[in-house]
Structures are given as C-alpha cells and as structure tokens.
Amino acid sequence: MADALLAILQRPNFLTFVILFLWGFYIMVTRYNLVKKLIGMYLVQTSVIFFLVSIGAKKGATVPVLLSTTEPVQVASYANPLPHVLTLTAIVVGVATLGVGLALCAAIYRKYGSLDEEEILERLE
C-alpha cells in the first residue's frame, strides 16, 4: 500500500491529470447550469492536453533545433516536438468546440430565457 502510494506520488503529473479530469467530469455530471457544464467539459479537455504535454517533457533538453550540423545528433538533448504540436491542434479543436457550445448556450437562453437544465426541461414538456 505504502509502495503504491509512493509510486503515485513520484508521478505528480499523472496525479494532477487524474484530479483535473475527474473534477471536470464531476462538474459536467452534477451541475444543472449549462455554462457550468461547458466549464467542466473544458476542464476535461484541458486535463487530457496536460497529460499529453507532460509525457512529452524531458529534463535538460532544449528546443528541437539542431545545435550543430557536424556532430552526431544527441537525442537526449532535444525535446520531442510532436506532443506539443498535437497539443496545439487539440487546443484549437477545444476552442472551436467551446465556441459552438457557447453559441448554442446563447441561442438556448434567447429561446427559453434560462440556462438551468431543469427549468428548460420543464418548459420543453
């Protein structure tokens, strides 16, 4: 048990990811306010992005631009750019989704005069 705990504590990035993900998921499930649901959704997205960045991190490495063209490439001294590029794309996708979500929220508010899920469901009946 203590070993497992220690092993978890050695990977604070994974711990942070799990907390962020579950927190966002909890907000999505329990809140009735549509904007709060969107906030939870954004937390979930961000947690995955955080995970992706954290597995791409490398200690003592620099930007992936070759320092010298004559010496053989030292892989350990360059960070892998791919996770960061993926992250950028994922952020763009997340922003677009959030934009559409907020637009829908605005349209729902104009139509039903409320952002509370239960109130809207009552009016739908």
Partner 1 sequence: MSQQLPAILFLLPLFAAISMPVVCLKHRHWSQPISLTILAAMVLVSILNLQNVIHHGEVRYVFSGWTVPLGIEWVADGLASVIIMLLSVLALLGVVFTGPTSPKALGGRIVHFYTLILLLISSMIGIVFAGDLFNIFVFLEVAAISSYALIGVAGGRALFAAFRYLVLGTLGASLYLLGVSYLYAVTGTLNMADIAERLPLLLDSKALVGGLLFIFIGLGIKMALVPFHAWMPESYTYAPDSVSPILASLVTKVVLLAWVRIIYWVFNASIVINDIPILPLVQVIGVLAAVIGAFLALAQRSIKMLFAYGGISHIGIILIGIGQGNQTGFAGGVFYLLNDAVMQAALFFLAGVAFCQYGVRTIDDIGRVGKQSPWLAGSLIVMALGMIGLPPTGGFFGKWYIILGALEAGNYFSVGGVLLSTLLTLAYFVKLFEGIFRQTSTQLDVQPGETPLSFKLTLGITTVAIMLLGLFSAPIVQLLLNHALPPGL
* In contact, 108 and 33? CB cutoff 8 Å: no
CB of 96 to partner 1, least distance (A): 6
Please report how close the Cβ of residue 19 comes to partner 1 at its closest, in angstroms. 15
51 binds partner 1 (CB under 8 A): yes
Of 100, 113, 118, 122, which lies in the binding site for partner 1, with binding defined by CB under 8 A?
Answer: 100
Residues 4-43 that bind partner 1 (CB under 8 A): 25, 28, 34, 37-38, 41
Which residue pairs, CB below 8 angstroms and at least 24 apart, start in 46-51? 46/20, 46/94, 47/17, 47/20, 47/21, 48/17, 48/21, 48/90, 49/87, 49/90, 49/91, 49/94, 50/13, 50/16, 50/17, 50/20, 51/13, 51/14, 51/17
Q: Which of 111, 113, 119, 122 lies at the binding interface for partner 1 (CB under 8 A)?
A: 111
Binding site for partner 1 (CB under 8 A): 25, 28, 34, 37-38, 41, 44-45, 47-48, 51-52, 55, 82-83, 86, 89-90, 93, 96-97, 100-101, 103-105, 107-108, 111, 120, 124
